[in-house]
Amino acid sequence: MIAALLPLLIFLPLLGFVVNGAIALTRRTGVGEAAPSTARHPLVSVVGPGAIIAAFGVAVALFMRMRVAFAGPVIITFGQWMPVGNLSIDWSFQLDQLSMLMVLVITGVGSLIHLFSIGYMQDDPGYARYFAYLNLFVAFMLVLVLGGSYPVMFVGWEGVGLASYLLIGFWFSDQANAEAGKKAVVVNRIGDLGFLVAMLLIWVTTQKLDYLGAHAVLGGMAGSSVVLAIALFLFLGCAGKSAQVPLYIWLPDAMAGPTPVSALIHAATMVTAGVYLVARAAPIFSGAPEASLLIAVIGALTALFAATIALRQWDIKKVLAYSTVSQLGYMFVGVGAGAYTAGVFHLVTHAFFKALLFLGAGSVIHAMHHAYHHAHRHDDPQDLRNMGGLVRFMPATAGAMTLATLAIAGIPPLAGFFSKDEILASVVARAQGSPLATTSLLGMPGTTWLYGVYALGVVTALLTAIYMTRMLMLAFYGENRTGEAERRVLHEAPAVMTAPVLVLAALTLIGGWLNLPALLPWGPVGILERWLAPVTGTSAARLAGTGHLDHDTELLLLGIATGVAVLGIGMSVAWYRRPREDKAHSPEDTSLLARAYGVDAVVQAVVVRPVHALADRVLARGVDRGVDRIFNAGGAVLTRTAALVGTKLQDGDAGKYAWLLVAGAVALIAALTLS
């Protein structure tokens, strides 16, 4: 049954891409999109979401089958892909507990985002093209998590890069959107190079590229320099795809695409690929403690760095974008510390509350856009300074967004509290008797690094509570700043948009029960840890060592996490509960945090402009034109010479032809005789 159903997971969204793509091509007016009145083909509204909902149904059926009878990884091979000498790569998919979990998240949350998109994109002339790209995105993400080898995973890895380019730059007639799509592609190529080098090292070392074969060999080489090198290059790929410092700069600009695209990229698909890769390659990373410790440190620095920037963003989607970068940092702290279940647990809960936040923001933007259109205003519908008091007009969205804000801040018993606390507690546990504690980084003992990572995580939790509550207060509470004409038409989003938001709110409320800690026996304990144990359990135990926490310490850490969240929320509410007339609220906010520390400006000055200058002045004007002149001049001389010889030989003189024939015959006879 599993072998029969597994191919459907990828076939269904691919079929949706083909059907919607064909409709998009047939409904173009010649040079642009179809007119808005004809763009929304009814079949698109059925096929686009329907393909992903059907894939989710298949995923649920596979999950139920796995619960009943599952002896180990199911590997399905469709044929050879690259049979070259000793290298033979198969088109194969692997289903195990980790990939099954990812499939459920991708198709489940993806289905809700597709349904939301029906209402959000209904007036867009690129409606069919949008759903074609969205289906393609999900198909490639499923290839990524189901691939049975690193090369097959890499196909999905590059595929989601392509789909993200198409979706981020969806409104490509706007130069800024087109540039954002290109930026995502270029920055990710840096990480992809690391992934490619890692695959080459794996092949040279093991003569295998499938997970089971390669991990079996590399698992026995723990502590070697080659395993360390492979782990570092793999993490470079992860840092690009999952936006870790310094390769995070593409993700905030990914907001250029439609808001549901942001929800899909940030919550359930592309940016989680790096975290998935670390968990999938756990036998490699657990054999390289130095690399794992480095991952945890970079994750903590990324989490803090992005959280500080989010404090002064005014675009509601930019706040959420930097929040995603920060939360990804938490996930890497978890998997870097060898707490693979904790990192994946936060990936799952984050998919719930971050998709909820983005779709809620989409409902707000949708309402503000229509209100401004009605009032003939051209203000930015995403600017928090133009909102306020929306709870009176959009109570369902406001309630759901409030719940998601409390979850990401870490308020019990919501999902984010359990997953974030498990990561921080795991870091403290690893600081006591684990291989991470006994290793060193830059001459500093691992124990010091781990306690530093915990401290950064706590500070980041405080900042998270502050900036998320700030966003909530500016958008939904306090004085309404939209204007009298706009207030008359502000209303809740249509049911097709509100229903997915409410479903995600329910998942945010109960998602933490997936992996309850033992000291809080409110229900089944450690469900997710037991589920993932066949895939990551051995690797996690290797990095855990003898480190563990007693119940008193765990309760203390829970208390600290909760106290920090409450403190941050209280500070933000006290600051933003009433309008403040100060420089921070002016449209011309030029503060360092509002400009994201000026990192983009530095990259432009240090990297982009010099490269452009090199390409234009040296390569294009110098080398390329010089080569053209050489070949053009040389080609002209050669052509003239050949023409001159040809005209002399073919001048109609029969005597000359006879002498040439005799000379040729003599030369041929001589050549044959000498040979």
8 CB-contact burial (10 Å; exposed 0-12 / middle 13-18 / buried 19+): middle
Q: What are the C-alpha distances in Å from 490 to residues 38, 101, 400, 495?
A: 26, 39, 18, 15
Structure tokens given for 362: 């989409």
Q: What is the pLDDT of residue 590?
A: 77
Is the separation of the CB atoms in 65 and 41 below 8 Å? no
Closest CA to 400 of 138, 124, 116: 116
Question: Which residue is associated with the tokens 């009145």?
Answer: 37
Torsion (CA) 207, 209, 212, 218 in degrees, nearest 10: 60
Q: What is the pLDDT of residue 375?
A: 79
Question: How do residues 295-351 score in pLDDT, each as one tens digit?
Answer: 999 999 999 999 999 999 999 999 999 999 999 999 999 999 999 999 999 999 999
Angle between helices 415-430 and 446-476 (to 10 degrees): 160
Q: Which residues of the chain have pLDDT under 70?
A: 27-40, 521-523, 579-588, 633-635, 675
Question: How do residues 647-663 score in pLDDT, each as one tens digit?
Answer: 777 777 777 777 777 88
Closest CA to 32 of 144, 173, 231: 173
Q: Where are the alpha helices (DSSP H) in 511-618?
A: 527-544, 551-576, 599-603, 609-613
Alpha carbon distance 152, 283 (integer Å): 19
* Terminal alpha carbon distance of the chain: 69
Q: What is the largest CA-CA distance in the chain?
A: 112
Q: What is the pLDDT of residue 33?
A: 59
The amino acid occupying position 493 is A
| Partners of 440 in the β-ladder | 445
Q: How many CB atoms lie within 10 A of CB 646?
A: 10
Q: What is the pLDDT of residue 28?
A: 62
Q: What is the pLDDT of residue 29?
A: 46
Instruction: Give pTM, 2 decimals.
Output: 0.90
Alpha carbon distance 596, 320 (integer Å): 14
CA 423 to chain centre: 20
Q: What is the pLDDT of residue 582?
A: 42
